[in-house]
Amino acid sequence: MIRNKYYCFFFLFYSIISFSQSIPIYKKSLIGNRIAEFIPQGYDKEKTPSLILQSEPVNMGSLPESWKLIPEFTLIANKASATLSLEGDVSLYGGGEVTGPLLRNNQSIKLWNTDTGAYSVENGKRLYQTHPWVMGVRADGTAFGILFDSTWKAELITNSDKIIYNSEGALFRVYVIDRDSPQAVMEGLAELIGTIKMPARWTLGYHQCRFSYDSEERVLQIADTFRLKKIPCDVIWMDIDYMDGYRVFTFDKKRFPDPKSLNDKLHQKGFKAVYMIDPGVKVDENYHIYQSGTKNDIWVKNPDGTEYHGKVWPGDCTFPDFTMPKTRLWWADLYKDFLNTGIDGVWNDMNEPAVNDNELPENLRLGTMPYDTPHRGGDYLPSGSHLLYHNAYGRLMVEASYNGIINTNPEKRPFLLTRANLLGGQRYAATWTGDNYASWEHLKLSVPMSLTLGLSGQPFNGPDIGGFLGNTSGDLWANWIGFGAFMPFARGHACAGTNNKEPWAYGEDIEKSSRIALERRYRLIPYLYTLFYSSHKTGLPVMAPVFFADSKDLELRAEEQVFLLGKDLLVIPSFAKDPALPSGIWEEFSLVDGDLKDTYQAKIKIRGGSILPIGKIIQNTTENSFDPLTLIVCLDENGKAFGKLYIDEGDNWNFEKGEFSLIEFTAQKKGNKVFVKIHNKEGNMDPYTILENVHVQVILNKKVYTGNGTLQNTIKVKL
């Protein structure tokens, strides 16, 4: 008996060794400035196609002999892995939508998009998106990044001495960026995966959502209350209850009988309207979407060729096979009639894809399609199993949705929000951090989650402010919106069965704090819009960790309570305790009357040497922010400052034809005066006709000095 036990152990060990092999690198080359491509011997794009890169890389020459960051490939029982060994002390970041700390040393992530409501704040719980990417920052401030170009189910392990990517599929390519700073690495990532499209200005306003505002009357009541109470807001969202029995691309005839009229009324009040569309299509022979999909043969099928059915909100559903080009074209075409009702944006949810299989024994529940479910592919995508394409399903869906939106309204910039996505999918959609919970733990977690998404190529993101699941107290809401108002995507959201979570739902005092927080955001929209333009051009995050202020300062590496907007604005949430702050000149300032005295508000500080362009308080972005424009000036140790402002028409593509103005400002102290002027400008728009009146506030040693004038002349501020 003992001999048999040892024999079994030996046989198992021998089997693992026999099926494990080190794979030599077939090709290693430079494909950009300090960007290397590594292709293992045996790699086959028919087994692991790329859905991450924006285009196929071009060989630019041999890898320098001095290049040290070289991954090692392994194949174990036909499952490919790659390992990058590290030298010295390296701080690791990235991995996309993850829980746990900002600093990712000695962490692991399951890369398998999963519908996970009220997710644990501890690390390791798999979430809705897949970002096989890690950035490392060395002690000297230089940085590198590694991208594993695979969509197979996988685990990403970030040990302090090595980064390991264990997939459950075939061999894949690896890309390594090695540059002088974290910012330069982010720009290199953008060269590989692309950047966000320039968003419409209205998308940077505040968004209000509930699952669900259940009738036209309720939607208009919410909109009217925002305007009556003078709380800034730009967007009202429609969750699934606007539909007829949860059938996508339909409207409930009793509760939403005239969506065009509803959307027209919202537009008249200065609101945009965003509606949800899920991938699951109700199996109903009398439902025109199901009829059309069946006729065009676009549904995902079981291995035996029958339709795959899974339960979602409408009951039994079919799912479009987005790997097929004809499916993506069919799906895009569905948006035409839908958007022609006046809908401004779209929300793709449940697109992991999520399937309710709770009737199965717990050990058999996958929450999605079975791994062996086939996808038919086409063009550059081969046929493959769900194990290959699951993590790309939401990415392919939002590509089709994006194309449908832009085909319907080609003159406008599409707005699309998605729950599931893949690294590179920021080219098509913004995101939020999923179904969080109304708790202090989730409030605090929202900062490192959003920072990590920004460090993974997705700058347009944010949490459900206040928490989606569970009841939210007034104290929790006010603390959350106090810093959530500064996050790239700012939306309040609430689940069915929870208490009302609008800014006025908690009494007059919390309503006042909410108004202050949102007025602060709206004053900063000129600066935010400029940051988004920069991100669109470079791939840099809008919301950045504080170590971006000084990548050599090791004290900043793990700081996850506070954050930067761009490089010039520091945000310190009210919950932050003894945060590590960047050194140098940082001056606190006020944006709205009462904001410095309100304990719920985040502290904001401007960096020495910078100029922030801010607008006036407005109720929505259809109003003019720039009458007057205010320039907040904070001088460096040499008495100088610099800043930028980007302006365009807000919701079209004319900026690509030169219809924009990118203005550079300088300030310089001479004696007891500060001189502020335009240093340079780009674009065909005349800034002087837009910025007729300019206020300047110079913040020096906690004192504010003011001046007024026009940008056609130098503005002088006496100290």
Active-site position among 97, 349, 519, 559: 349
Give the C-alpha separation, 495 to 498, whole Å. 6
Token representation of residue 112: 């398998």
Reported in sequence order, the residue ranges of 266-366 that DSSP labels E, i.e. its strands, are 272-277, 281-282, 310-312, 315-318, 345-348
- Residue 102 Cα distances to 134, 165, 568, angstroms: 12, 19, 21
Domain with residue 710: its CATH number is 2.60.40.1180
pTM of the complete model: 0.96
Q: Describe the crossing of helices 182-193 and 525-538 by its angle, rounded to 10 degrees.
A: 70
Same domain, 485 and 400: yes
- Residue 218 Cα distances to 206, 247, 259, 389, 454, angstroms: 19, 21, 13, 40, 35
Residue-level length of the chain: 719
> For residue 88, which phi and psi values (nearest 5 degrees)?
75, -170
Same domain, 497 and 599: no
Sorted by sequence, the CB contacts under 8 Å of residue 508 that are 6+ apart come out as none
Sorted by sequence, the CB contacts under 8 Å of residue 404 that are 6+ apart come out as 331, 332, 333, 334, 335, 336, 339
Same domain, 123 and 184: yes
| pLDDT digits 0-9 by tens, 52-66 | 999 999 999 999 999
Give the C-alpha separation, 104 to 397, whole Å. 30
- pLDDT attached to residue 20: 76
> Is residue 2 included in any domain, yes or no?
no
Closest to 443 measured CA to CA, from 495, 479, 494 = 479
- Degrees to nearest 5, angle at CA 97 with 93 and 98: 65
Same domain, 115 and 30: yes
Amino acid type, 358:
N
Domain with residue 186: its CATH number is 2.60.40.1760
SS3 of residue 291 by DSSP: helix
Active-site position among 115, 239, 435, 511: 435
- pLDDT attached to residue 362: 85
Give every strand in the sheet of 464-465, ordered side by side: 461-462, 430-432, 416-418, 345-348, 272-277, 235-238, 206-208, 490-492, 464-465
Same domain, 177 and 238: no
Token representation of residue 565: 């907007």
| pLDDT digits 0-9 by tens, 402-412 | 999 999 999 99
Same domain, 150 and 269: no
Give the C-alpha separation, 434 to 122, whole Å. 15
Q: Alpha-carbon torsion 87, 191, 400, 264, what sign? A: positive
Cis peptide before 212 (omega within 30 of 0): yes
Task: Tell which of 193, 217, 245 closes a domain.
Answer: 193
Per the CB < 8 A criterion, the answer to whether 396 and 379 are in contact is: no
Closest to 157 measured CA to CA, from 174, 178, 132 = 132
Residues (pLDDT < 50) of the chain are: 1-18
> Is residue 63 included in any domain, yes or no?
yes
Give the C-alpha separation, 515 to 521, whole Å. 10
Same domain, 91 and 233: no
Q: Which residue has the tokens 């063009």?
A: 379
Q: Which residue has the tokens 């987005």?
A: 322
Give the C-alpha separation, 395 to 614, whole Å. 35
Give the C-alpha separation, 667 to 225, whole Å. 42
Residue 349 known to be catalytic:
yes
> Is residue 606 included in any domain, yes or no?
yes
End-to-end CA distance of the chain, in Å? 92
Q: Which residue has the tokens 């005066």?
A: 673
Same domain, 422 and 348: yes
Same domain, 447 and 583: no
Task: Tell which of 153, 168, 193 closes a domain.
Answer: 193
Give the C-alpha separation, 338 to 232, whole Å. 28
Sorted by sequence, the CB contacts under 8 Å of residue 415 that are 6+ apart come out as 199, 200, 203, 274, 344, 345, 346, 405, 430
What domain range is 209 assigned to?
Answer: 204-277+324-527
Listing DSSP states for 210-245 in one string gives: -TT--SHHHHHHHHHHHHHTT----EEEE-GGGSBT
Active-site position among 321, 352, 560, 595: 352
Residue 352 known to be catalytic:
yes
Closest to 314 measured CA to CA, from 284, 359, 358 = 284
> Is residue 410 included in any domain, yes or no?
yes
Centre a 10 Å sphere on the Cβ of residue 371 and count the other Cβ atoms it contains. 13
> Is residue 470 included in any domain, yes or no?
yes
Task: Tell which of 174, 193, 212 closes a domain.
Answer: 193
> Is residue 586 included in any domain, yes or no?
yes
Same domain, 567 and 636: yes
Number of structural domains (the chain) is 3
- Residue 72 Cα distances to 69, 78, 84, 352, angstroms: 10, 16, 6, 30
> Is residue 621 included in any domain, yes or no?
yes
Token representation of residue 295: 């006729």
Residue 72 known to be catalytic:
no
Give the C-alpha separation, 42 to 21, whole Å. 12
Same domain, 462 and 567: no
Sorted by sequence, the CB contacts under 8 Å of residue 447 that are 6+ apart come out as 102, 483, 560, 561, 562, 563, 573
Find residue 415's DSSP bridge partners: none
Per the CB < 8 A criterion, the answer to whether 94 and 455 are in contact is: yes
Domain with residue 249: its CATH number is 3.20.20.80
Same domain, 24 and 167: yes
